[in-house]
Amino acid sequence: MILTRSLILGFPLLVAALAWWSADVSRRSRQQRGRDDIVVMLPQKAPALNPFLPVNETEREIADLVHEPLLRLGADGTLRPALADVWRWSQEVTCWFADAATARRAHERLLAQIGEHNRWLEWRLSAARVQENKLRLTFTDMAASGVRQALQAVVELAPQPVAFWRAEARQPLRAAWDRFAAASPSASQVHAVWFDGANACELIVPGHAPQLLADLQAAFNAATGDSCSLTPLGEAGALVEPVLDLDIRPGCHWHDGTAVTAEDARATLDYLLRSDVPLPEREALRHIQSVEAREEGARLHIVFRRRYGPSLGMFAGFPVLPAAWLRAHPQATAEDFLHHPPPGAGGHRVAARDTRSLILVPTGNGRETARFLFNFDASPLMTQVGVRTRTVDLVWPAAAAGQSQTTPCLTPPRQRLVVLWNLRHAALASVEVRKALARATDTAALIRTLPGSLGPADASLFAPGLWFSTKAAREPFDLKEARRMLSGAGWTQDVEGVARNAAHALRFKLLVPGGDALHRGAAEQLVAQWQQLGARVEIETIEDAPTLLRRLRAHQFDAVLLDQRFEISWDQLPWWHSSQAMAGGTNFCGVADPQIDLRLEALAGEFDPARVPTRVRELEALLLPLHPMLTLFSTHEAAAMVSNAPRPALGRASWTLRSLAEPAPLPTPVVPKIEFKLRTTDG
Amino acid sequence: MNSPPFTSPPAWLPGRLVLGGVAAGVLLLPGWEALASARLAELALRSARSLAVLTVALLLAASLGIASALMARRAGRYAEALVGFCGRSLACVPVVVVAWGFVGWWIGAYGWPVETLLPAQLPELRSAWETRLARVVWEYLAPAWVLALPFIGAVMDAMTTDAALTAEIDFSLRARGVPGGRRIWHHHLRQMWPLFGMRMESLCLIAPVYLIVVEDVLHFMGWGGWMAQGIRTADASQLASGFVAGGMLMALLCALSGCLWRGMPTSGARWRSLSWQPWLLWALGWLALSRPQAAGWLFLGMAVLASGGAAWWDAWTAVKAELPLAAAQSLGATERDLWRAHLWPVQWRMWLAWFVWSCAHLLLWGTVVLALRPELLHSLGAPLASWLAPLAVATPQDAARTLADPTALLRVGGSVALVALCLLEAARIIRPRSY
């Protein structure tokens, strides 16, 4: 009886005591937190962390902590060294001669010309060497006039012209080219080949080579079982190729301890060129002719097909992965990134990972000190519990946190919503009308009333936050002024309230991409706002992207609402150059101005990032007064920060996970102002 | 959960439960591919975790229920009646309210942790063995205590109700000078032991279903969480494999119960074994898959009727056996006279009591359904939907509100418990008893 009673009464007491002890220990352990630890709660599933194809902003930012690009944007928006600590542009000029002796003679003649006045520095020529029948010159300056002078020095020795050919077929050509290159002795005459997709390639052929071209066409025809077209693209006296050299920072290591080399960067670029990953930098990648790792893996040598300065920006866009991993996963899928993740070279490494959590710890290489703990698949209750018990610092997205005890904050914008005007439209052709419409647009009301996390956007053509961003002021909302401007331009309102001039009523259609509530809502509000001005606007929804693109290319629109994705590029030529204004071009608005064309060309050919801001300002000074585009607002993602989060950095209005990981900047020490002067002895 | 009238389980109950689980799984998704495609290793691990929680919870409920009922018995008749009433009241509180109430009180008011609801921690903070052990223990004990609470009430009710079924030996023991403590803790307990074992076996069929709600609210990674996910997503293969695993879980619990409480009488009637199957668990699965949703509620009603059917039939048989039917027949009463004069006056009360009892249980099971499928709230009528709305915690705002102030939830839980208790008390009053 005593035993029974003891068991019946003792068991619950024992369990109660055990529960109390365990709960108390658990509570105390939860109160111990590192000051620099950041705990993030996310309702989404654990991401694959594919740095090239992030599903959302969260994955992009986590991947950015783990993986490192060659270059990176600094806090001030300038290009900063990352895996590459030095980069430089140069030009490589190649001349072909009839034979090696002539090439040597040309070399001697060139050296004699240089030596006469020591023109190495004047021509910015850094090297001149002979390889068989080729003379190769390397110029350190992209704008060097020495190229022309050097070529003039050897022109009397009759350098052979270099021809550019394009082969196209209905079947893939790469295998056919590989077989031809291996089997045919004449294939060595081809200087370089570049594949434009699977079914087309371009060849650089020096000299007169009819036999080579005939053999090549026959080989392609035989391999594809079809008639392959081989068309000449052009001819030049010498091959001039822009070259970008990136020196890999010494001491960079992957998280598995192996050293980062240029071969890794080359393998990554090769992987991206071969894959069909929809990268924003895809178009810039097309300019690459060849990539090599040089100086025993210390230098990445990239040869470009054309002079395109903004190519530099793409290296800040995607990270480098280890060559060994890319070799093991030539067709890397999300599963590969999830189950066999590549080691990164970023400031944080993955310390632990499972289906519901991810721990990132700093590697000690950079300034980052904070550790991250990501909790995925968090239910609303877990999120609330985390917020209430202060065991969470960040809830992403903010909507998952509810309202209490948190501060919403926005990520940097990735895109913005704009209205493009068709300058060929009878009413919209007038600058005054476009300006009045901009004045009558209350973007603050749009930001306030539309769903999502929206922020103000400036009128600049370029992405905000970069070193060349101008923060151009947009037209302030002033309906009275807008009406006055419109009537001043001869547009008066009729009895129905529609603005008219002598020939037209202010009526147009606004093309809106379908399937997005934000687009729809914005379009409806814009129509209502412009109606106040006297414009009658009809919304036309286009459901599929190809139809929309076709309409834009054919200029079959009056105005269109579009998302403008921000890129690290200063090239605006495709959107505003008059050569793109014809049907099928990408200058949808139809801007055609020779002065603007010159500025656009100069900007696209600018290789020096330091000179870009000036050129951007010059372009915007001409283009913005035309009001070809109306910027509305930028779209952000919002996270909720727990109000008593321990890190001061958490209070920033706009942030990234990377910015949270870095310690708050120390106050700048006061530098004593001591004026140094050269002391002269003669006075 | 209030105990139905007393009935004895069929022989080889664990085996029948396993077979029943497999049959339900196959019926839900014909073919074995469902089980093959399910993540069996994960399910096995989850089931083992749930078995641990269920065992501790049921042992807690048994020990606390027995202790309080026996102490009340020693204190006197009124105390025993009061404990019985308190037990019934406690058993009427919807399990979702108990779980959310615990979360709101423990975390919301006091800020104490529930391991499974808190974010993971960085490695060095969980490296000390003492901390790791405490966390594991608390991870299991938190759902065990929450689950035990309604069952403590059920055991208290069962102990006080079933005491009336035992022979009255207290007087003779007292006359022999047996001390009070021994009379209760030895003699009375030995009388109650087999009856209590049968009650525990009936609780073993219900406890896993309650565990689904508890694991879902506390995010415990067990069999219940698996089932809750399956019910939410209406995943037939997940539910089918969950039925099989659930049948095995119940079988193990019943086998354990059989080991602890030996000498339980068993019933030979085959149809009774149907009543001793987890109809409510199966109803939840069918309800998740049913289109339209009204059919799901019908499944639930039928499951409630089926799960109480054998007990109510036994109760009716016992009452009928004591009716003077043979005497009336010998005096020349026709079948019609017998039915009108003797059977009908008792039978309608039995039917009515069963109906009222079923209504009470349907209400309580309805709260379980709403906790797991909040969207079904819209399939109820407007007044019922607005009354039960706080039980459906689906959005971050709901969770935040409940965590910050669980008053609305507790108020609804209290009113549901009160209505269910009134109905059950009414059923007890209406039900005819054997003479």
Q: HEC string of A98-162?
A: CCHHHHHHHHHHHHHHHHHHCCHHHHCEEEEEEECCEEEEEECCCCCCHHHHHHHHHHHHCCECE
Inter-chain contact A26–B135, Cβ cutoff 8 Å?
A: yes
CA distance A410 to A652: 9
- B positions 67-86 inside 8 Å of A (CB): 67
Neighboring chain B residues of A359 at a CB cutoff of 8 Å: 120, 122-123
List the helix and strand counts (H, then E) for chain B. 20, 0
**A233 contacts A78 by C-beta, under 8 angstroms:** no
Q: DSSP code of A401?
A: G
Quick one: average pLDDT of A380-390?
A: 81
A18: nearest CA in chain B? B137
- Statement: residue A652 has pLDDT above 50: no
Q: How many Å lie between the alpha carbon of A453 and the closest alpha carbon of chain B?
A: 18
Q: Which is nearest to B97 in space by CA: B364, B361, B420, B278?
A: B364
- B46 pLDDT exceeds 90? yes
Interface contact flag, B118 A391, Cβ < 8 Å: yes
- Checking ipTM against 0.90, whether it exceeds it is no
State how far residue B131 is from chain A, nearest Cα, in angstroms. 6
Percentage of chain A beyond pLDDT 70 is 93
Is the pLDDT reported for residue A598 higher than 90? yes
Q: Do A373 and B396 touch (CB under 8 A)?
A: no
Q: Residue B318: its pLDDT value, please? A: 80
Least confident piece of the model among A479-483, B84-88, B158-162, B166-170:
B166-170
Q: Is B131 in contact with A25 (Cβ distance < 8 A)?
A: yes
Q: Is the pLDDT of residue A329 over 70?
A: yes
Residues of chain B with C-beta less than 8 angstroms from the C-beta of A33: 125
Q: Do B119 and A26 touch (CB under 8 A)?
A: no
Copy the structure tokens of residue A325. Answer: 């991993």
Residues A301, A302, A308, A313, CA torsion sign: negative
Q: What is the pLDDT of residue B235?
A: 85
Q: Which residues of B fall within a CB distance of 8 Å from A41?
A: 119
Question: What pTM was computed for the model?
Answer: 0.77
Determine, for residues B63 and A27 on separate chains, whether the beta-carbon distance falls below 8 Å. no
Q: What is the mean pLDDT of residues B201-227?
A: 91
Nearest Cα to B389, choosing from B123, B401, B18?
A: B401
pLDDT-based confidence at residue A403 (cuts at 50, 70, 90): low
And the tokens for B125? 């903070």
The reply to whether A45 touches chain B by the CB within 8 Å rule is no
CB contact under 8 A, A388 and B111: yes
Best residue in A7, A8, A41 for a mutation probing chain B (most B CBs within 10 Å)? A8
Interface of A with B in 342-381 (CB under 8 A): 351-352, 356-357, 359, 371, 373, 375, 378-381
* Residue B134 to residue A400, Cβ atoms within 8 A: no
CA distance A635 to chain B (A): 23
Q: Do B117 and A29 touch (CB under 8 A)?
A: no
Alpha-carbon gap, residue B255 to B67, rounded angstroms: 23
pLDDT digits (tens, 9 = 90+) for A196-237: 878 888 999 988 888 888 888 888 888 887 788 888 888 888
Position A654 scores a pLDDT of: 67
| Least confident stretch, A98-102, A215-219, B10-14, B352-356 | B10-14
Judge whether B350 is closer than 8 Å to chain A, CB to CB: no
Nearest to B134 among A9, A15, A21 (CB): A21
Highest mean pLDDT among A357-361, A387-391, B319-323: A357-361
In chain A, the residue whose alpha carbon lies closest to the alpha carbon of B115 is: A26
Residue A398 is predicted with a pLDDT of 82
Residue A664 has pLDDT above 70, yes or no: no
The mean pLDDT of chain B is 84
Query: Nearest-CA residue of chain A relative to B132?
Result: A26
**Angle CA(A603)–CA(A606)–CA(A611) in degrees, nearest 5?**
90
pLDDT at B8 > cutoff 70? yes
Query: What is the Cα–Cα distance from B279 to B289, expressed in whole angstroms?
Result: 15
| DSSP-derived pairing of the beta strands A288-294 and A299-304 | antiparallel
Contacts of B400 in chain A (CB under 8 A): 380, 384, 402-404
Nearest to A407, CA basis, from A421, A393, A417: A393
Flag whether residue A8 sits within 8 Å of chain B, measured between CB atoms: yes
pLDDT computed for residue A665 by the predictor: 55
Handedness of CA A43, A46, A52, A58 (dihedral sign): positive
Please give the helix or strand (H or E) that residue A28 lies within, else none: helix A2-31
Instruction: Determine whether the interchain pair B403/A1 forms a contact, defined as Cβ–Cβ distance below 8 Å.
Output: no
CA dist B94 and B365 (Å) reads 8
pLDDT at B426 (0 to 100): 92
**153-182 in chain B: CB under 8 A from chain A:** 181-182
Considering chain A, what is the average pLDDT of its residues?
87
Of the pLDDT bands very low, low, confident and very high (cuts 50, 70, 90), residue B207 is: very high
Check pLDDT > 90 for residue A626. yes
The predicted model gives A59-80 an average pLDDT of 90
Nearest to B137 among A18, A37, A380 (CB): A18
Write the pLDDT tens digit of every residue in A270-315.
Answer: 998 888 787 777 778 888 989 999 988 899 999 998 888 898 888 8
Instruction: Please say if the pLDDT value at position A503 is more than 50.
Output: yes
Range in A469-478, A483-492, A535-544, A638-647 the model is least confident about: A638-647
**A383 and B396: CB-CB below 8 Å?**
yes
Do the chains contact at B120 and A356, CB–CB below 8 Å? yes
B145 touching chain A per CB within 8 A: yes
Task: Say whether residue B123 is in contact with chain A using an 8 A CB cutoff.
Answer: yes
pLDDT at residue A320 greater than cutoff 90? yes
Contact (CB<8Å) B59/A11: yes
Q: How confident is the model at residue A660 (pLDDT cuts 50, 70, 90)?
A: confident
Strand pairing class (A629-636; A415-421): antiparallel
**Partner B, chain A 628-657, Cβ-Cβ below 8 Å:** none
Q: Which residues of B touch A381 (CB under 8 A)?
A: 103, 117, 217, 219, 393, 399, 403
Which residues face B106 on adjacent strands?
Answer: none
Strand order in the sheet with A415-421: A453-456, A629-636, A415-421, A559-565, A507-513, A536-542
Interfacial B residues in 32-51 facing A (CB < 8 Å)? none
Q: Residue A638 carries which side chain, given as an amino acid letter?
A: A
pLDDT at B124: 65
Strand partners, A243: A90, A303
For the stretch A337-360, pLDDT in tens is 988 999 999 989 998 888 888 999
- Tokens describing residue A73: 């944007």
Instruction: Choose the closest CB to A18 out of B117, B141, B400.
Output: B141
| Residues B108/B404, Cβ–Cβ less than 8 Å | yes
| Predicted confidence (pLDDT) at residue A590 exceeds the cutoff of 80 | yes
Q: Collapsing DSSP states into helix, strand and coil, what is residue A404?
A: coil
The answer to whether B119 contacts A39, with C-beta atoms less than 8 Å apart, is yes
Interface check A670 vs B, CB under 8 A: no
pLDDT at A67 over 80: yes
Confidence band, pLDDT 50/70/90 cuts, at residue B211: very high
- The pLDDT of residue A49 is above 50: yes
The strand pair at A559-565 and A507-513 is best described as parallel
How many CB atoms lie under 10 A from the CB of residue A544?
A: 11
Average pLDDT over residues B29-42: 66
Question: Using CB atoms and an 8 Å cut-off, which of residues 287-316 of chain B contact chain A?
Answer: none
CB atoms within 10 A of CB A264: 26
